[in-house]
A and B are shown apart, each in its own frame.
Chain A
Amino acid sequence: MAFFENTKTAIRTLLSRPATILYPVQPAKKTPLSRGHVTIDESRCISCGICQRKCPSQAISINKEAKIWQIDRLRCVVCNSCVDSCPVKCLFMDTQYSSPVTARSIEIINITYVKPPKPENKDEAAV
């Protein structure tokens, strides 16, 4: 007859530190690879629209003429697809989650990229 098999584990966990952390007071544990929210470096975005096409939940939309990049944080599932497919690598994945909101809104970022002028002479063409 085997009873109280759990005694050893119960005493060990009673005498050791709690396994939980006091979350809002202490920060949540994150690793360098954790996916939290998407950020953009607006001085490098060339408005190609690839991130808009690749997003599986249609959270990103770009307005080329008005130079606006907007994201709906509540639709984004932080899948990392836009970060991987951006050709100029201007999107980054931050480790902290976006903060809670009380109303659905779209975050609008103005793109400040300026295209460098073309070199005048073909001999002096330096990338």
Chain B
Amino acid sequence: MTKQIIVPFGPQHPVLPEPIHLDLVLEDERVVDAIPSIGYIHRGFEKLVEKREYTEYVYIAERTCGICSFVHGATFCQGIEQIMNIDIPERAQFLRVIWSEYSRLHSHLLWLGLFADSFGFENLFMNAWRIRERILDVMEQTTGGRVIQGSCKIGGVRKDISNEKLDEMRRDLDSIESEIKDLTSVFLQDDSIKHRLRNVGKLSKEDAYHLGAVGPTARGSGVAIDLRKTGYGAYGKLNFQLVTDSCGDCYGRCAVRAKELFTSIDFIRQSIQKIPDGPIDVKVTGAPNGEFFARAEQPRGELVHYLKGNGTKFLVRSRIRTPTLTNIPPLVRMLQGCELADVPVIVLSIDPCISCTER
């Protein structure tokens, strides 16, 4: 009977962007089981909603996470607007889509860089982040902040983008797209990378669906779930193709995210072409009374904001369920049976955003 050893992984590890702890049960070099443990960065956001008015809570909801911050703010506003039956102007909806897709571009490029770093390819890491700087420059020129945008408010958006600036953004997208093509061809075709990623961390399609995987973790196994198909916001007026991959291993998840970069660029081009003129916000009075589940597609998967108000300025309950929380059970399943040296690559392939998870 082989002896079992327990090796702790995290919370401090060079490959992890955020602290998560895993106790790996090993027999020789093979992982038999993994026990996750979170709670290193719990800040109690959901309790803070009782002390901040619902109009100010947008700033706090945005700061849940540094990488996917725009979609948190936009989803919270969407939930409150649905409870209070507010229709925001069309230009504001298209602007939110443009910023969400830029946010998705920056998040996927950040992940591609970290993933390359996890299997030792530092040059690719720096190149991915070099392209990401151009995206962050656009965010700063249009909203004022590189990572925390602060541009969503209840009733619309706070800052407008002029039509000249939109034309300039569309011209810049061509050169960004050619650089991204060079980058993704390395990820998808280089043999040394394929050697590290093929058949590592396999998750079958049935497992992915029943364990609750969302986002690129599910799409990499062939499950076609993407909440932008429900048509919330201005997504109903834009069309796109879902990107899936049937392999279910780390290479599949990487390929899904690399191809989604092009989908995002296509979204931005369509939105810039279709955006109408008009106001960017409506006046909001009163307080929310009711409840609603607002769902949106974050770069990592399906985000659910549950909001409940009782007619006063302070909400009763705000519950944020982030995609990484629901991707942890598939991660535990993926780790069973893998080698110890593959653990960092697998943990990073679900795109862990632990600060969102623990709020």
Contact = CB atoms under 8 A, between A and B. Distances in A.
A–B touch (CB < 8 A): the answer is yes
B59 A77 contact: yes
A19 to B, nearest CB: 5
Contact of A9 (B127, B159, B191): B127
Interface in A1-22: 1-6, 8-10, 13, 19
A48 B39 CA distance: 41
Contacts of A84: 158
A33 B191 contact: no
B133 A19 contact: yes
Question: Chain B interface mostly helix, strand, loop or mixed?
Answer: helix
A31 B133 CA distance: 14
Given A54-B56, A81-B56, A34 B123 contact: no
A49 to B, nearest CB: 15
Interface string B182-212: 1101100111100000000000000000000
Given A3-B191, A33-B141, A13 B59 contact: no
Interface residues of B, number: 30
B166 to A, nearest CB: 15
Interface string A63-84: 0000000000000010111001
A1 B191 CA distance: 7
A35 B60 contact: no
A34 B130 contact: no
Given A8-B182, A31-B144, A3 B192 contact: yes
A31 B141 contact: yes
B301 interface: no
B141 A5 contact: no
Interface string B100-140: 00000000000000000000000110010010010001001
Q: Interface size for chain A: under 10, 10 to 19, 20 to 34, or 35 or more residues?
A: 20 to 34
Nearest to B185: A5
A87 interface: no
Contacts of A4: 190
Given A6-B186, A13-B130, 20 more contacts: A2-B189, A2-B191, A3-B192, A4-B190, A6-B127, A10-B123, A19-B133, A31-B141, A33-B143, A34-B144, A34-B145, A35-B150, A54-B56, A56-B60, A77-B59, A77-B63, A80-B150, A81-B56, A84-B158, A93-B144
Interface of A: 1-6, 8-10, 13, 19, 29, 31, 33-35, 54, 56, 77, 79-81, 84, 93
11 contacts: A2-B190, A2-B191, A3-B190, A3-B192, A4-B190, A29-B137, A31-B144, A33-B144, A35-B144, A77-B148, A79-B59
